Structure 1
Amino acid sequence: MTNSSASEAVAIGAAKRTPEVIARRVRGLSDRAIAWLFIAPTIVLLLAINVFPLIWTVYLSFTNYKANRAARGVEWVGLDNYRRVLTDSDIWHNMLVTGHFLLWTMTFQVLIGFGLAWLINKNFKGHGVWTTVILLPMMLSPAVVGNFWTFLYQPQIGLFNYIVGFFTGVDPSSFEMIGSVNLAPWAIVIVDTWMWTPYVMLICLAGLRSIPDYIYEAAEVDGAGPLRTFWSITLPMVLPFLMLAVLFRAIENFKMFDLVVELTSGGPGSVTELASINLKREAFEKWRTGLSSAFAIILFVTVFGAANIYVKALNRVKQR
């Protein structure tokens, strides 16, 4: 019996076992109606999980609601929460810290990730083993990575301090990375780069391996050197993949929370307090639920708008 005959037999058996009442109703439905019948549970689930919380958050952003005083009356405050967020100097400082974090993590991850992808694409001996080793950091939990690097950054026993001391001549026991106002932001950038550069490398490697060999062969016949080939063929064809990696990582880093908290425990001062951490403080420490809802909506609109503009630029690059 062929596969098609077996499928037909299964379909006929299922139809015979279907109650007659249901069978008559199904036979009266169009193909479009049947399709909607199948996807309706998924749509309801998405509405319940994604859309309703967003609508509820928008509503709360116009009130003075506090989650720790739910029984207290809720007052409509209009745009007051949005005005307070947009005129708060501390929040603008947190946004600046977040922008600094995004800029440097994206720069290092793209440069190092693309460099590693370019090397692994050479298919040297043992490249499979090295690829697996490089991918290990991104397989770990951010909380585990934060705790692991906290020990590495310890002034007395931290391996990172001894490495820095070896190359700079600084006494490792006096070198404090996390506790330093100037160095703490860079400590977070180093850890995030170490953890997520493999992710960028994978996307870049997919882009490099999607380039047909005949294009390089044609360039070689035309007498193009390695540098010319890189700038005219490799980089333009990998650029959409690079931009896609930047988009994914920028969205994730904009809402970075657990890694920073595990590394710094909220210090020193506010130099490592990202916008997401400030949002958590407003919502679950100060219990300003209405204000934090307005803050969350502003962050959402910021990310959504920037991502929309970026995707349009990405589409233009793809069409070249």
Structure 2
Amino acid sequence: MTDDTKGRNPAAAPLALGRKVRGLSDRALAWVFIAPTIFLLLAINIFPLIWTVWLSLTNYRANRLNAEVKWVGLRNYERILTDPDIWYSMQATAHFLIWTLVLQVLIGFGLAYLINRKFKGNDLWTTIIVLPMMLSPAVVGNFWTFLYQPQIGLFNYVIAFFTGADPASFSMIGDVNLAPWAIVIVDTWMWTPFVMLICLAGLRSIPDSIYEAAECDRASAWRQFWTITIPMALPFLMLAVLFRGIENFKMFDLVVQLTGGGPGSITELTSINLKREAFEKWRTGFASAYAVILFVTVFGLASIYVKALNKVKER
């Protein structure tokens, strides 16, 4: 033992640290615990956003690192908002978004309503219905690409029968008018179970006593559905629409797996168009402005929607 350590109490250091910690206020302790999280949020979320906004005001290209970066101001935003191809991709995205939401909400709520009425094999059917959402988009894309192949896919035979096309050469993905609907079908098949689970949680949160009181008042099943079930499950329905709307607005992998999302394609959504501008044409500044516009659009619509959702919850 050295002279410096002679006479020291081994527990002195922890005790001193404990006194310092006990001397901190609750507010200071709270900051000690949340500071790492705030730092990570700033590093992972806030800084990239600020960097993207700055790049959107320049002509920066990621494949030309030694080129001079010029300040172009709002020129990238002006070019985006006046580009007919970008507006065309936004229309394709809106078409995909609206129809997937309508189908998933209607089918998902219908399945939830049926499963909520306890019957034999309820748990088994619930598990089977939920299976598609457990698969990755890559697996789902390859699986449905196989189903859409000529001479194989069931959907091809059905659509060919009604359109009079030759089933041996017909494919929904290859048809200009039916390709968007082919993607809508796949996304609906995959994510309807997610909507169903949220709606099922809403239906099972409704107390049975409300239905019993309605039956005492001789309310019909149809009236109970419209005056009790729908109003009380509406916040859950709106929550499902919010989640699926945000996800479908960003849809990329499933569309690429099914169609490739080629240039000028009717299935070229905004996410695919953004990827092409950033990583094929290497117009990084232009793509950054595009990303900022999409972010503001989604954030603005989601904020308005959340306010409407909160008003529904307060009723």
| TM-score grouping bracket, smaller chain normalisation | over 0.9
Conserved in 2, the CA contact under 8 Å of 1:64 and 1:291? yes
Q: Indicate the residue corresponding to 2:137 in structure 1.
A: 142
Q: Indicate the residue corresponding to 1:44 in structure 2.
A: 39
Structure 1 counterpart of 2:34, which letter? Answer: I
1:247 aligns with 2:227: no
1:80 aligns with 2:75: yes
Instruction: Give the drift of 1:95.
Output: 0.6
Q: Indicate the residue corresponding to 1:190 in structure 2.
A: 185
Q: Indicate the residue corresponding to 2:63 in structure 1.
A: 68
Q: Sequence identity, in percent?
A: 76
Of 275-284 and 68-77, deviating more is: 68-77
SS where residue 129 of structure 1 aligns?
Answer: helix
Residue by residue over 1:233-265, the C-alpha shift from the partner in whole angstroms, topping out at 9 and shown as x without a partner, is: 000001110000000000000000000000001
Q: Indicate the residue corresponding to 1:8 in structure 2.
A: none
Q: Indicate the residue corresponding to 2:226 in structure 1.
A: 231
Instruction: Give the drift of 1:43.
Output: 0.9
TM-score (norm 1): 0.92
Instruction: Give the drift of 1:21.
Output: 4.4
- Structure 2 Cα separation of the partners of residues 243 and 251 of structure 1: 12
TM-score (norm 2): 0.93
Conserved in 2, the CA contact under 8 Å of 1:114 and 1:200? yes
Residue by residue over 1:120-165, the C-alpha shift from the partner in whole angstroms, topping out at 9 and shown as x without a partner, is: 0011100100000000000011111111100000013223323545
Q: Indicate the residue corresponding to 2:196 in structure 1.
A: 201
1:120 aligns with 2:106: no
SS where residue 124 of structure 1 aligns?
Answer: coil
- Structure 1 Cα separation of the partners of residues 84 and 90 of structure 2: 10
Instruction: Give the drift of 1:275.
Output: 0.5
Gaps of 5+ in 1: 1-15
Q: Indicate the residue corresponding to 2:306 in structure 1.
A: 311
- Structure 2 Cα separation of the partners of residues 157 and 151 of structure 1: 7
Query: Structure 1: which 4+ aligned runs deviate by more than 4 Å?
Result: 163-170
Structure 1 counterpart of 2:82, which letter? Answer: T
Gaps of 5+ in 2: 1-10
SS where residue 168 of structure 2 aligns?
Answer: helix
Instruction: Give the drift of 1:269.
Output: 3.9
Conserved in 2, the CA contact under 8 Å of 1:179 and 1:267? no
Q: Indicate the residue corresponding to 1:288 in structure 2.
A: 283
Change (3 A) 1:191 1:268: farther
Conserved in 2, the CA contact under 8 Å of 1:66 and 1:290? yes
Aligned residue pair count: 305
Give the alignment's Cα RMSD to 1 decimal.
1.6
